[in-house]
Structure 1
Amino acid sequence: MNMTHYMELLAVNQPWNLILFMAIPVVLAETIAVTELAILFTRRFDGMMRKINKICSIIVGFYFLGIFIYLFVNAVIPFTMNGEWRGWIDIIAVGFYLMGVIPLFGLSLLDLGIVGRGWNEEQKLKYHAIFVGIFLIVAHIAMIFGMLDPSLGGNHSHHMNM
């Protein structure tokens, strides 16, 4: 089957690529989303939920920044230089996956106090929730397009090389 580079990355080197590129970031992001809801409902900014939320936010931002740099250097640049993209569906899948670095690293910067240092807890909570929402959107777009056969977008190449 012809597949996007996104899906190929997750399919090869089983189970390690799936764990490193999908499971770890998604488990951390889902932990953030669930604890974010608890914080939004309770408005408790000092409890255990907030501590878990903050730790996961800091870890996932830096973890995904590492993924972004690794894939940009080892996949995006070579695919672009060698004309190896499998059409527009492939570019959307990989591009939206990598765009996850923006909201995830934003969470890290916010929880480290690098961004929003002078904001009150309500303002921080607002932006924290926005970053979580943005991540959920870009991650789901990446997953949807990543699961498509790139030939649906007019690409009929059948090489696999991620």
Structure 2
Amino acid sequence: MSTMTHYMELLAVNQPWNLLIFMAIPVICAETLAISELIILFTRNLNSMAKKVSKVVGIFAGLYFLGIFIYLLFTTVIPLTLTGGWRGPVDVIAVVFYLLGVIPFVGMFLLEIGAIGRNRDEVSQLKLHAILVGIFLVVAHVAMIFGMLSPDLFTMEGMGGM
């Protein structure tokens, strides 16, 4: 029986650095973005410090998580797939959902630099930005939940050899 998913193993090794690099920084970015979105929503001030913070963090988070995605794709996902090293469906779900965070974060980056949504008004861009923050929070939480499960849960061994 495996003791933990690759997701949890990644966070547990090389303490505290992996936890900071792969969990703390992306989650702090997402929470900063969520809070700034709420401030902008409630104040309706599209020129506030919260909007500036949101823009800077959106750009940083997109580039940062793209780096994480590329690194983990080549150092973990491809090797585990080629060698059959996955620890069951729970393991795959945890890692895939973690990596899916690249889509909303890169989307925010592209929105902030004007590569997408430039024909939208500011309120429409803000709505898209908030949707992308929400998507990141959902995929990150799915990754965390599955990452904390036993990787054997949905395997024949985890089901008592049924």
- TM-score, structure 2 length as denominator? 0.94
Sequence identity (%): 61
SS at match of 2:30: helix
Q: After superposition, give the CA deviation of every residue in 1:119-140 in whole Å (9 maximum; x if it has no partner).
A: 1011101101110110111000
Displacement of 1:156: 4.9
1:42 positional shift = 1.3
Unaligned runs of 5+ in 1: 158-162
What's the RMSD between the two structures over aligned residues? 1.2
Structure 2 residue aligned with 1:69: 70
Q: In structure 2, what residue type is equivalent to 1:44?
A: N
8 Å contact 1:58–1:108 — kept in the other structure? yes
Which residue of structure 2 lines up, in the alignment, with residue 51 of structure 1? 52
- Looking at structure 2, the residues matched to 108 and 7 of structure 1 have their Cα atoms a distance apart, in angstroms, of 27
Measured at CA, do residues 155 and 136 of structure 1 come closer, stay the same or move farther in structure 2, by a change above 3 Å?
farther
Amino acid at match of 1:110: L
**Alignment correspondent of 1:102:** 103
Quick check: 1:10–1:22 contact (8 Å CA) kept in 2? Answer: yes
1:14-33 alignment, distance < 5 Å? 14-33=15-34
Q: Distance in 1 between matches of 2:25 and 2:5?
A: 21
Paired with 1:115 and 1:41, the residues of 2 have a C-alpha distance of 25
- Offset at residue 62 of structure 1 (A): 0.4
Q: Which residue of 2 aligns with 1:160?
A: none
Query: The residue matched to 2:118 in structure 1 has which SS?
Result: coil
Paired with 1:27 and 1:44, the residues of 2 have a C-alpha distance of 23
* 1:5 to partner: Cα distance: 0.2
Paired letter, 1:29: A
Secondary structure, aligned partner of 1:153: coil
Give the number of aligned pairs.
157
| Displacement over 4 Å in runs of 4+ | none
CA shift at 1:152, angstroms? Answer: 1.2
Which SS does the other structure have where 1:104 is aligned?
Answer: helix
Structure 2: distance between partners of 1:76 and 1:118: 37
Distance 1:82 1:155, change over 3 A: farther
In the aligned structure 1, how far is the partner of 2:141 from the partner of 2:72?
Answer: 19
* AA in 1 matched with 2:71: Y
TM-score by length of 1: 0.94
